[in-house]
Amino acid sequence: MNVVVFDLETTGLSPERDAIVEIGALRVRDGRVVEAERFETLVRPLSAAGEPLRIPWYAQRVHGISDEMVRNAPGLAQVLPEFLDFVGGSAVVAHNVGFDGGFMRAAARRHGLVWSPPAEYCTVQLSRRAFPHERSHNLDVLAQRLDLTFAPGGRHRSLGDVQVTAEAFVRLMERLQVRG
C-alpha cells in the first residue's frame, strides 16, 4: 500500500478559527517508510486579511513552535499547493485523521483548493482494532506499545510525530493482516 502519512501543528483546535503552523509528511511504499520522500515546513500563520497571527502560549507549550520560528516561514497560500502536489493522488494517514484532515479541508477551501484524498486512514482507529482491550490509543502509548521511539525533540513536531505514526501504521497494518 502506498500512502502519505502527515501531521499538522496548529495554533489551536478549531479548523475554522485556528491556523496551521507546521506540516510534516512521509511516504510509505509497499510497507516501507521512505525517509527520502518527505515534506516538512513551518508555516507563517496569517489572518484572512494577510496579517500575521500570533501563536498562543498554550499552543507553543504543546509543540514548541514560536512566533519567532515562523516569522520568515512561507504562508499557507504558498505551502498548501506544494503539499497537495506532494500528496498527489495518494491515500493519507494521520494519528486522529479527523483533526488533521479537518484542518486540511478548511485550509484548502479558504484558498480555493480541494483536499480530497481517495482514502484517509487513522492510526487511532487502527490501534483500536489491533488492540481492542486497551483503553488508551494516543500516540505516546501506541509508540510504547509498538516499541517505537521519537527522535530527540521530535514529539509534537510534525516530522517527529510523522516518523512514529508512519512506522506505527506499517506495524498496525501487518498486525491486522495477520489477524485477518
The pTM (predicted TM-score) of the whole model is 0.95
Tell me what pLDDT residue 58 has. Answer: 97
pLDDT (mean) for 33-46: 97
* Catalytic residue status for 63: no
pLDDT for residue 180: 54
Task: Point out the catalytic residue in the list 63, 95, 137, 156.
Answer: 156
Q: What is the pLDDT of residue 179?
A: 62
Question: Residue 44's closest CA among 61, 66, 60, 14?
Answer: 66
Measuring CA to CA, how many Å separate 62 from each of 13, 34, 155, 178?
Answer: 12, 27, 9, 36
| Res. 71: pLDDT tops 60 | yes
Q: pLDDT of 14-24, one tens digit each?
A: 999 999 999 99
Domains of the chain listed by start with CATH number: 3-179 (3.30.420.10)
Contacts of 84 (CB under 8 A, 6+ apart): 108, 113, 115
Placement of cell 509498538 in the chain: 146
Tell whether the model's pLDDT for residue 174 goes beyond 90.
yes
94 or 49: whose pLDDT is higher? Answer: 94
